């Protein structure tokens, strides 16, 4: 009989976006893979898909139903490993696995950026910190994806059996890579842009945390000096209309392209000149890793996730939050200095290849998994 692993998160698209290489790795080891989450997304490499009514808000009654379903499933299936993700998925899975842990199930939780961190609102500390501290008692391995979260969990005495740091979920450095000038111009024409356009890219949901308004304000400051500058915003969300209205008021609506949800970011990024990021809080942002893998310099607002990836004058700059003037000044510098853009972009690409490439992160995760699998000598290690 094959061993079983359960992956759990709030919504199933989380696995499609970030975890398929790890799910596939378990299949390659001969394990039976189950996934539990809300949604109807088809997932490869999965033997059983369990639909749960998990809601992002902890105050929804459906979460109680999801908890009882998870508990029943875990007690019946005798999973060797449960790996849970996202705040609600992680909370419900760890609570539901308490009885299963007594019979040998090992519970791994990946914190994709604690909601409490340096500079986070007091309410986040009052609500999320005690929850995570308590739940650490029911965690065999807590995985953090940035150094700040790792240091916080250790310093604050989280009671997980192990606390580990891995470099995020990895980035596909073959899918995301720089283009030579000829192919770059070909793709620009394909998407309707001109060779001399200066393209700035940001992919994120339109919400308060992502703060796209800052980017539009900075663009308005440089519109006269840099008339060819354009801002490409991929994503959807409740604040998209507000951002569109702001662009009109500031006279840059013809320079801001709202691209909506995209599944071709790997084509769009390499044709751009720089990536910008205005978010207030990040764990370890995949959008920045993809931009760096594509050879773009980064201008980003200060938060723990951006600090983990961006070093001043090495692959871009970190600016104080809401510093629209500083953002505008750095954009102008890169508009004028192509050699600097190339230098910063190459440095970022090298960083992704050496540390954050998917095969590097996969090996970090595999090392943790094998400690809970038994029979290390039989494990097949990933090469890519």
Residue 204 CA to residue 184 CA, distance in Å, equals: 23
Contact between 226 and 335 under an 8 Å Cβ cutoff? The reply is: yes
**Helix H or strand E encompassing 43:** none
Sheet-wide strand order for 141-144:
48-51, 32-38, 4-11, 81-85, 106-111, 141-144, 162-165
Question: Nearest 5°: CA angle at 110, between 104 and 116?
Answer: 125
Joined tokens for residue 288: 């920045």
291 phi-psi bin (left φ>0, alpha ψ -120 to 50, beta other)? alpha
- For the entire predicted model, the pTM comes to 0.91
E strands, the chain, are: 4-11, 32-38, 48-51, 81-85, 106-111, 141-144, 162-165, 198-203, 229-234, 256-260, 274-277, 298-301, 316-319
Residue 307 CA to residue 303 CA, distance in Å, equals: 6
Taking only the tens of pLDDT, the chain with its 384 residues reads: 689 999 999 999 999 999 999 999 999 999 999 999 999 999 999 999 999 999 988 889 999 999 999 999 999 999 999 999 999 999 999 999 999 999 999 999 999 999 887 777 888 889 889 999 999 999 999 999 999 999 999 999 999 999 999 999 999 999 999 999 999 999 999 999 999 999 999 999 999 999 999 999 999 999 999 999 999 999 999 999 999 999 999 999 999 999 999 999 999 999 999 999 999 999 999 999 999 999 999 999 999 999 999 999 999 999 999 999 999 999 999 999 999 999 999 999 999 999 999 999 999 999 999 999 975 434 554 544
Q: Name every residue whose Cβ is closer than 8 Å to that of residue 49 and which is 6 or more positions away in sequence.
A: 12, 34, 35, 43
Report the SS3 class of residue 22.
Answer: helix
CA-nearest of 84, 68, 85 to 76 is 68
363 phi-psi bin (left φ>0, alpha ψ -120 to 50, beta other)? alpha
Q: What is the largest CA-CA distance in the chain?
A: 69
Report the SS3 class of residue 239.
Answer: coil
Joined tokens for residue 244: 């569109």
CA-nearest of 26, 45, 80, 108 to 374 is 80
CA-nearest of 145, 364, 175, 160 to 269 is 175
């Amino acid at each position: 009989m094959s061993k079983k692993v359960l992956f759990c998160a709030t919504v199933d698209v989380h696995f499609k976006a970030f975890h398929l290489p790890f799910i596939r790795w378990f299949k390659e080891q001969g394990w039976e893979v189950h996934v539990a989450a809300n949604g109807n997304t088809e997932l490869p490499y999965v033997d059983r898909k369990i639909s749960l009514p998990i809601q992002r808000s902890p105050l929804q009654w459906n979460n109680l139903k999801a908890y009882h379903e998870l508990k029943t499933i875990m007690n019946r299936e005798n999973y060797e490993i449960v790996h849970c993700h996202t705040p609600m998925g992680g909370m419900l899975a760890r609570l539901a696995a308490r009885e299963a842990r007594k019979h040998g199930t090992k519970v791994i939780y990946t914190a994709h950026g604690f909601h409490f961190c340096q500079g986070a609102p007091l309410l986040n500390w009052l609500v999320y910190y005690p929850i995570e501290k308590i739940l650490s008692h029911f965690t065999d391995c807590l995985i953090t994806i940035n150094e700040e979260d790792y240091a916080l969990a250790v310093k604050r005495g989280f009671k997980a059996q192990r606390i580990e740091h891995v470099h995020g979920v990895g980035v596909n450095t073959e899918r995301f890579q720089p283009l030579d000038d000829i192919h770059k111009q070909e793709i620009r024409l394909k998407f309707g842009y001109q060779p001399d356009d200066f393209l700035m890219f940001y992919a994120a949901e339109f919400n308060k945390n992502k703060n796209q308004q800052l980017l539009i304000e900075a663009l308005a400051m440089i519109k006269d000096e840099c008339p060819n500058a354009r801002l490409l915003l991929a994503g959807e969300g409740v604040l998209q209309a507000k951002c569109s209205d702001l662009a009109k008021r500031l006279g840059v609506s013809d320079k801001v392209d709202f691209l909506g949800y995209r599944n071709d970011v790997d084509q769009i990024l390499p044709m751009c000149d720089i990536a910008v990021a205005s978010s207030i809080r990040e764990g370890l942002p995949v959008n920045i890793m993809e931009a760096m893998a594509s050879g773009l310099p980064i201008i980003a607002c200060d938060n723990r996730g951006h600090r983990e990836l961006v070093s001043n004058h090495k692959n871009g700059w970190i600016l104080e939050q809401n510093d629209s003037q500083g953002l505008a000044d750095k954009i102008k510098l890169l508009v004028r200095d192509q050699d600097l853009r190339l230098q910063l972009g190459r440095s970022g690409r090298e960083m992704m290849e050496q540390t954050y490439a998917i095969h590097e992160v996969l090996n970090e995760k595999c090392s943790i998994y094998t400690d809970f699998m038994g029979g290390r000598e039989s494990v097949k290690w990933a090469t890519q």
